[in-house]
Amino acid sequence: MSAEREKKLAAEAAAQLPEHGMRVGLGTGSTVYYLLPALAHRELDLCCVSTSPATEHAARELGMRVESFSGTEALPELDMAIDGADQVAPSGWLVKGGGAAHTREKAVAAAADRFVVIVSSNKLVERLVPPVPLELMDFGLAATLARLGTVELRDVSRSPEGGVIADFTGDLDDPAELAARLSATVGVVEHGLFPPQIVSDVFVARGRDVEHIALADPRERLASELPVG
């Protein structure tokens, strides 16, 4: 079965999770493309926030209610967020940001009581590999690039907040160590390494089946809980 079909199956399975009245964060990317119509079809009374203008536009076109997540009057927390991933390691670490929305995606995931990841089986990897998406400040950009070392700028539009999109292409032997280093580097707005602590569930489609991996306490799960295809 194709990866696209698997994405659709995983998205449709996760679309059954939200309930009436929930505040739901909507991710960005090709897998979320399948999530939106499946969610809209249920005709729930949801209050949604979006991680990108593209997702917001698509959700509104389907009749979904999308509110701003900007400013002091925005929702302070969410019941659930659903999003895809570029890589999922057995440890639970994720790489996200292939679509350059990782800063907003991480903000939404961190605000959610339950962060649900939906992927096709080809997104499961034995270990994370570069590149790791970055959003960088334009001010002092040359100095930031010098501090980071192995980084390639993307020839894409800037983020909605004006950030420069790039990819870290150096060593990724220890995701926690690299995440800490990138977070501590002045000029880095955000990076695409998502820690296991914020992941609640992973829906993995394999062929015609969808495996739901519930991670009640992500900090204590074993690597064997997430099978690698």
* Catalytic sites, residue numbers: 105
| DSSP state, residue 61 | H
Kindly report the length of the chain: 229
- In degrees, to the nearest 5, what angle opens at C-alpha 229 toward C-alphas 93 and 129? 40
Where does 52-123 have alpha helices with state H?
53-61, 102-111
CA separation for the pair 114, 82 (Å, rounded): 9
What 3-state class would DSSP assign to 50?
Answer: strand
Q: Identify whether the C-beta of residue 206 lies closer than 8 Å to the C-beta of residue 3.
A: no
